[in-house]
Structure 1
Amino acid sequence: MHSIPQSWAHLPFFAEKLPAIEAALEQDNRDILPPADQRFAALDFCAPEDVRVVILGQDPYPTPGHAHGLAFSAEPDVRPLPRSLNNIYKEMIEDIGSAPLNADLRPWAEQGLLLLNTVLSVPAGEANGHKKLGWQTLAQEVLAEVSKQPCAFLLWGAQAHKMEDHLTPGDHFILKTAHPSPLSARKGFFGSKPFSKVNSWLETQGKLPITWA
């Protein structure tokens, strides 16, 4: 199992909940995604004080070879693009005129954008297969932590919307829309212009905009 990200190790989840989750994963004979050493990749990229924007996803891609620990991201060689990501890029082109050339969103993470799923593991081929393991506590604690300072939150889909209650009140930018998946993108994700809106908000805060593409 991957070591706990040091800058987040003070969160109660790691002592109180993670051991039981790890025990359950060890007893699960299915192919678990992403690989254990990538499970906390989103937190490895961003220390709490460096997070400027949070995009909250649901759970990792259930297709082997796709998930690598960052919500909506996949390795650069993944073709075709995962369908939710394809819709994210479509909206980005409509919004700001360009999008990344491949599925790898690590350049976003390097700019203080936390790409966090509410559940951090999934059995191959079984979306939401680990939603009852208790991972959501970590997302709740992470959100409470990063929202101690002004932050932008893109909450995509009903599972992400429920997490708003865990934000520490403050001068945040919060945009709640439908999820970008093919099932729901036309119900309010398309046309929401999240990328230009986040950058406008960051500039009002005196912070550098995100280089999206």
Structure 2
Amino acid sequence: MPKATSDDIESEDMLATIATTTKHKTSHTVTKASTLSEMWLKKPSMSTSVKAKASTMKPTADAKGEPEANSSKARTTAAAEVALQENAVTQGILDTLETDTMGESWLEALKPEFKKPYFTQLKKFLAAENASQAIYPPAGNIYSWSRLTPLDQVKVVILGQDPYHNQGQAHGLSFSVLPPTKPPGSLKNIYKQLETDIPTFKAPQFGDLSPIAKQGVLWLNTSLTVRAHKAGSHSRKGWETFTAQVIRAILQREGEDSGVVFMAWGLPAQKTLASIGINKKKHLYLESAHPSPLSAHRGFLGNGHFRKANEWLAQKYGKEAAIDWTVISAK
């Protein structure tokens, strides 16, 4: 999340935008999410904005015309004002993040979570982090999984850990990256297994899994944000409690068509699903090693999960229910 130089006027403009955004909480479009994301990205940096303000300040004079001795006090006051505005921008974004960017079906199911103490503490943590650190993914993409895969359309759940932590990678779906970023090692191994399971699949040069997500595949991380260049930095801050409730919302769906496929790759994903409790008579539960280059050869490659998922979906709901994994295949 790069920090851009900005002055107080831009901060005030952002605050006005926050107020406008708050008035229109009923819209959950990707366009609004993009706007919110841009606001987060443009949030002024403490160091740059303070430095800009300080550089334009001139020493004041006392009644005798002499420069004020304690000009540093004036700079400190200016810095405090800028910091207050920046914090207001961040808090405004965080206060409306769910209502402005979460898909409506998920928003309705998860709304009770937003008022719980753990979620309040999580938001405070994110505000503090964003005051001095870059955070990924951008704000508007934290809940992109909820817009691409509505609750009532979930067929497959693929559980990851936390987002990629380098710039231009994470965009809210586990294992997925946006162009022009090339597929990371774990995703390359996912492609290898897809080529084994689906004869017509050919690994693409890009890593955006959104077209698959739109078919009902929920690419979900247990932690939805991360500090730049520090894997696992937002773990055990509250996201795991929230994403466990995401999975419970799927399990609580009613009807004969509510069974789904769970793919648990690696011990963390397996422990998460075990703690929630998956009815293996109703759902297809598949587990293996993680697709990371460090572990893929210890059970991920050759697991047949994509083939097994499609066979189960076709048998339970009909051939049209199977996932077209080739939608991202190289041409």
TM interval, shorter chain, is over 0.9
Return 5+ residue gaps in structure 2 as ranges.
1-93, 253-257, 327-331
CA offset at residue 76 of structure 1? 2.8
User: d(CA) in 1 for partners of 2:219 and 2:260?
Assistant: 13
User: d(CA) in 2 for partners of 1:82 and 1:76?
Assistant: 12
| Structure 1 segment 60-79 matched on structure 2, within 5 A | 60-79=163-182
**Among the aligned pairs, what percent are the same residue?**
38
Amino acid at match of 2:128: Q
CA offset at residue 168 of structure 1? 5.1
Contact 1:13 1:137 (C-alpha < 8 Å) held by counterparts:
no
Does 1:175 find its partner at 2:273?
no
Count the aligned residue pairs. 212
Please identify which structure carries the higher helix content: 2
The C-alpha deviation readout for 1:169-191, integer Å capped at 9, x for no partner, is 25111101111111111111010
CA offset at residue 77 of structure 1? 1.8
User: d(CA) in 2 for partners of 1:147 and 1:85?
Assistant: 27
Does 1:45 find its partner at 2:148?
yes
- Matching residue of 1:209: 322
Greater radius of gyration (CA): 2
SS at match of 2:236: coil
Return 5+ residue gaps in structure 1 as ranges.
none
User: d(CA) in 2 for partners of 1:19 and 1:100?
Assistant: 42
User: d(CA) in 1 for partners of 2:174 and 2:221?
Assistant: 5
Does 1:154 find its partner at 2:253?
no
Instruction: Output the TM-score relative to the length of structure 1.
Output: 0.93
Does 1:184 find its partner at 2:285?
no
The C-alpha deviation readout for 1:97-138, integer Å capped at 9, x for no partner, is 324522010001100111100000011111111112110112
Larger mean Cα displacement after TM superposition, 81-90 or 13-22: 13-22
Over aligned residues, Cα RMSD in angstroms? 1.5
| Structure 1 segment 1-213 matched on structure 2, within 5 A | 1=94, 2-4=97-99, 5=102, 6-9=104-107, 10-11=109-110, 12-16=112-116, 17-28=118-129, 29-79=132-182, 81-97=183-199, 98-101=201-204, 102-148=206-252, 149-165=258-274, 166-167=276-277, 169=279, 170-207=281-318, 208-213=321-326
Contact 2:105 2:152 (C-alpha < 8 Å) held by counterparts:
no
Larger mean Cα displacement after TM superposition, 2-11 or 104-113: 2-11
Instruction: Output the TM-score relative to the length of structure 2.
Output: 0.61
